[in-house]
Amino acid sequence: MDDMVQIKKCLAGDGEAFEVLVTRYKNLVYGIALNLLHNKDEAADVTQEVFLKVWANLKRYNPEYSFKAWIARITVNHCINLNQKTRRAAAAAWDEEVVCRIAADKGLPEEELLAKEKQDRVRSAIESLPEMYRLVVILFHQQSLSYDEICQVTGYPLSIVKNRLYRARKMLCEKLSAYHGREAGKEEGLWAAGRHGSC
């Protein structure tokens, strides 16, 4: 059912309609939060907090814009604010998670270990990008937002969004090629978790 139909029901006091919206977009919110915070517990907390904000501010939603983009923007802003307060703690939690995962990987088939190693390298390369580039990569390739939706989330014009996405891909290719000594992305499965791109 169309988002606007559910939103009108919510504004009329229908709590079940809001549950429909939560179910529809909780994976989007959690995915963005996890990619920006690198901590599953924090991402889960942020998901709840974002939907509380959405409910409280639903009257302010402008139907001229994508509801998906509106929720994504709230999520991004919330995570940026949280990151500014807890950047070091979030980074430490991510490091610990990686160490624990590597320790748990012992005994896995070689192909699976190699695949996980590639995923970790891609994730690490994305994380090393400046935030303005990392954000567009996450929104476009991992969360499948359109260019227009990314413009709505970030407030940037289309030309800047496309330019930053292009430069982010180029930087990722350079970072990943350091591991392999050849063009990254072709063998690395760079966009395996999202839409395909090339270096």
* CATH code, 199: 1.10.10.10
CATH, residue 63: 1.10.1740.10
Evaluate if pTM is beyond 0.75.
no
Q: Which domain covers residue 36, as residue numbers?
A: 1-91
Is residue 83 located within the same domain as residue 131? no
Q: Are residues 85 and 114 in the same domain?
A: no
What rounded mean pLDDT belongs to the chain? 80
Q: Indicate whether 181 belongs to any domain.
A: yes
For the segment 100-146, what is each residue's pLDDT rounded down to a tens digit? 454 454 455 556 656 667 777 888 888 888 888 989 999 998 888 99
Q: Are residues 127 and 188 in the same domain?
A: yes
Determine the residue type at 44.
Answer: A
Spatial separation of the C-alpha atoms in residues 144 and 149, rounded to whole Å: 10
pLDDT (0 to 100) of residue 29? 96
